[in-house]
Amino acid sequence: MPKQASRPTPSPIPRLPGGDGPAKPSFDGSWRWFWPFVAICLVLQAVLAVDCARQWTPTHDEYWHLPIGLRMWKSGRFDDDVINPPPVRLWAAIPLVLGGAKPGDIDSKLDVGDIGDAFWKANGDQARGWFFWGRLMIVPLATLTGLAVVVWSRSWYGERAALISVLLWTCCPTALANSAIVTHDLALAAFWTMTLLALAGFAELPTWRRAILFGVLLGLTPLTKLTGLILVPLSVVLWFVLRLGAVKQRSSPEAKLIGVDPATLQLQAGGRLRTTFMQWVVALSVSLAVINACYLFRGTGTPLGGLKLASSRLQAVQQINALTSVPVLLPVDFVAALDRLSQDLERHHPVYLDGEWSDRPFARYYAAAMCYKLPISTLILMLVALASVVRPRQNSLDRRHGVFLIVAALVLPVLASGSSNQIGIRYVLPTIPLLCVFAGQSARWLNCDSVSLRSVWMKRVVWAMLVAAPLSLRFHPHHLAYFNVIAGGPLNGRWHLVDSNLDWGQDLYALKAFLDQQHVDDVGLAYFGTVSSDSIGIKSHVPPSRFPQAGWYAISANFVQGRPHAIRGDDGKRLNVGLEEFGYFRFFEPVTTIGYSIYVYRLSQQDVARYAAALQQLERESGT
pLDDT at 257: 42
Q: What span, in angstroms and rounded, lies between the C-alpha atoms of 396 and 581?
A: 58
Predicted confidence (pLDDT) at residue 19 exceeds the cutoff of 50 = no
- Mean pLDDT along residues 571-578: 90
Q: Where are the beta strands (DSSP E) in 251-300?
A: none
Lowest mean pLDDT among 319-323, 329-333, 379-383, 471-475: 319-323
- Shared domain for 110 and 146, answered yes or no, is no
Same structural domain for residues 451 and 562?
A: no
CB atoms < 10 A from the CB of 41, how many? 22
Contacts of 210 (CB under 8 A, 6+ apart): 198, 201, 202
The DSSP string of 370-387 is: HHHHS-HHHHHHHHHHTH
Q: Measured between alpha carbons, how far is 340 from 498 in angstroms, rounded to an integer? A: 25
Query: What pLDDT is attached to residue 621?
Result: 84
Stretch 466-486: mean pLDDT, rounded? 97
In a domain, 17, yes or no: no
In terms of domains, do 108 and 166 share one? no
From the list 504, 545, 510, 546, the residue with the least C-alpha distance to 527 is 504
Cβ within 8 Å of residue 419, ≥6 positions away: 345, 361
Is residue 340 located within the same domain as residue 466?
yes
Q: How deeply is 390 buried, as exposed, middle or buried, from its count of CB atoms within 10 A (0-12, 13-18, 19+)?
A: exposed
588: left (phi over 0), alpha (psi -120 to 50) or beta: beta
Q: Which of 137, 171, 202 is the C-terminal boundary of a domain?
A: 137
The total number of structural domains in the chain stands at 3
In a domain, 402, yes or no: yes
Residues 113 and 168 in one domain: no
C-alpha to C-alpha distance for 285 and 613, rounded to whole angstroms: 69
Shared domain for 271 and 405, answered yes or no, is yes
At residue 46 the predicted structure's pLDDT band, cuts being 50, 70 and 90, is: very high
Of 470, 498, 531, which residue sits at a domain end? 470
- In a domain, residue 400? The reply is yes
**Does residue 21 form part of some domain?**
no
- Any domain includes 260: yes
N-term to C-term CA, the chain: 104
Alpha-carbon span 221 to 288, nearest angstrom: 11
Beta bridge partner(s), residue 568 = 574
Q: Are 195 and 232 contacting, i.e. CB atoms less than 8 angstroms apart? A: no
The boundaries of the domain holding residue 532 are 507-623
Q: Which of 583, 529, 164 is nearest to 375 (CA)?
A: 164
So what's the pLDDT on residue 573? Answer: 87
- Whether 585 maps to a domain, the answer reads yes
Q: In the predicted model, what is the mean pLDDT of residues 305-323? A: 87
DSSP 194-254: HHHHHHHHHHHS--HHHHHHHHHHHHHHHHH-GGGGGHHHHHHHHHHHHHHHHHHTSSHHH
Rounded to the nearest integer, the mean pLDDT of the chain is 89
Answer whether 180's CB lies under 8 Å from 421's CB: no
Averaged pLDDT for residues 378-404: 84
Overall average pLDDT of the 494-512 stretch: 97
Residue 14 — very low, low, confident or very high, per pLDDT cuts 50/70/90? Answer: very low
Proportion of the chain above pLDDT 90, given as a percent = 73
Please state, in angstroms and rounded to a whole number, the distance separating the CA atoms of residues 325 and 323: 6
pLDDT, one tens digit per residue, over 237-292 is: 999 988 875 554 444 444 444 444 555 544 455 567 889 899 999 999 999 999 99
Same domain, 251 and 267: yes
Domain for residue 589, yes or no?
A: yes
Closest C-alpha to 403, from 386, 416, 417: 386
Shared domain for 406 and 355, answered yes or no, is yes
- DSSP-assigned beta bridge partners for residue 603: 551
| Cis ω for the linkage preceding 303 (within 30 of 0) | no
The answer to whether the Cα torsion of 269, 275, 278, 279 is positive or negative is negative
Name the residue among 143, 151, 144, 196 with its Cα closest to residue 21. 151
pLDDT for 591 equals 96
pLDDT tens-digit readout, 136-164:
999 999 999 999 999 999 999 999 999 99
Q: Do the domain assignments include residue 497?
A: no
Q: Give yes or no: residues 543 and 603 share one domain.
A: yes
What is the rounded average pLDDT of the residues 423-444?
Answer: 95
Query: Same domain for 541 and 462?
Result: no
pLDDT for position 1: 43
Q: Of 102, 137, 172, which residue sits at a domain end?
A: 137
Same domain for 207 and 283, yes or no, is yes
Quote the pLDDT of residue 450: 63
pTM: 0.91
pLDDT in tens, 201-250: 999 999 999 999 999 999 999 999 999 999 999 999 999 988 875 554 44
Looking at the structure, do residues 207 and 352 belong to the same domain, yes or no?
Answer: yes
- Residue 66's pLDDT band, with cuts at 50, 70 and 90, is very high
